[in-house]
Structure 1
Amino acid sequence: MSTPIILEEGLLLRPGYFSREQQELLLEDVRSVVGIAPLFVPVMPKTGKSLSVRMTNCGDLGWVTDREGGYRYQDFHPVTGEPWPKIPQRLLELWRDVSEYDAPPQACLVNFYEPGAKMGLHQDRDEKNFKAPVVSVSLGDACLFRVGGLDRRDSTRSFKLESGDVLVLGGKSRLRYHGVDRIYPGTSTLLRHSGRVNLTMRRVTD
């Protein structure tokens, strides 16, 4: 593991947290999750416009969005109607190591970015609990990650996230705007084809 980098108060980057062997094991965990809870295409509230990522979840709760219900957490897959699978042990161990929060995560969002996918600037604020951090893991191709302030109009900074990196948004940085501007295809051989998997753990309630 490399030395943690404090980017801002509460914004912590752990580059290379997971070794290549650990990434491969974690990817197998993800495939097991997807085998139970298949990836689906989320859509925006009201407009019904599809997001450019495919997603699924694991944990007691999962984040979903659709035209009718909007952004929310629920305890079942929107397509299969089945409960979400459990969060893999390796991710729970990561949470215990970096979150500095006593209670375990309740949700882990799995986003799959194909080479042309991106994620606009947004806040993670659909949770009732902002005391717990957001902990995310990057697997596969590198991405250009952008983070701003607590107001959408604040200035932003961008940096690359590589496969195996861990990013923590907590404390005063918990509600910072952030997004993914682009994927760099072919920068990792972890996945069978180009693309990036992002795993984001959150505590939803108190």
Structure 2
Amino acid sequence: MSVIRSLRRAVAAETVDERVSEVTRTVGSGQHGPVDRAVLAAVLREVRAEDDPVLGGALVAGVDGLVLAAETYGSQVEMLGVMAAAVAGVASQIVAHAGAAEALTCLIEGSAGHVGVFPLPPAMVLVVIGRGGVSTGRFNLAARGVLSRLRAAVAEAYASDAAEAPALGTAHEPAPVEVPVEAPGTGPDTQKFEPVNRVPHVTFDLG
């Protein structure tokens, strides 16, 4: 019930920051992966440009509800990102308590379309909006196609970063320092010690 109360407070909050705070207080938050937002936005732009009759829009948000990229049609993007992150957290808890292992999809069927929420590693959620007059099976297939393209783009971005980063253990070692070798008997340890103040030898004549 604490999750439901948190969601109600999030809806009633006046600002996006307050909504995020209410949701993450119960559901939990995470750090965004090191994926450039431009990579996510490029995939969503390609999907929208294809003008699929099944899809009405999509967005990617972090698990904290902050939107990273969006291509939607008249949706309240910020609020949708917050609610999707909350739904993903609640779905994970439901699946865990039901003994169904890991939550892979949260599919919502409306009277004029569908909404699908999918976990997107490492710490994101994908929201896909379907148009009306489309069957659940057809929407699920199209939505999973978007998910696959995003996963491939994220994997490619990680691979590119790994290729540019220096390999472990291949850092340049410092150049060796040459130590001059002195001839035997000429080093500082072999020099004869001469006292600074030398006492003169005095001979007394007692005759």
TM range (shorter): under 0.3
**More strand by percentage:** 1
Higher relative contact order (CA 8 A, sep 6+): 1
Normalising by structure 2, what TM-score? 0.27
**More helix by percentage:** 2
In terms of Rg, which structure is larger? 2
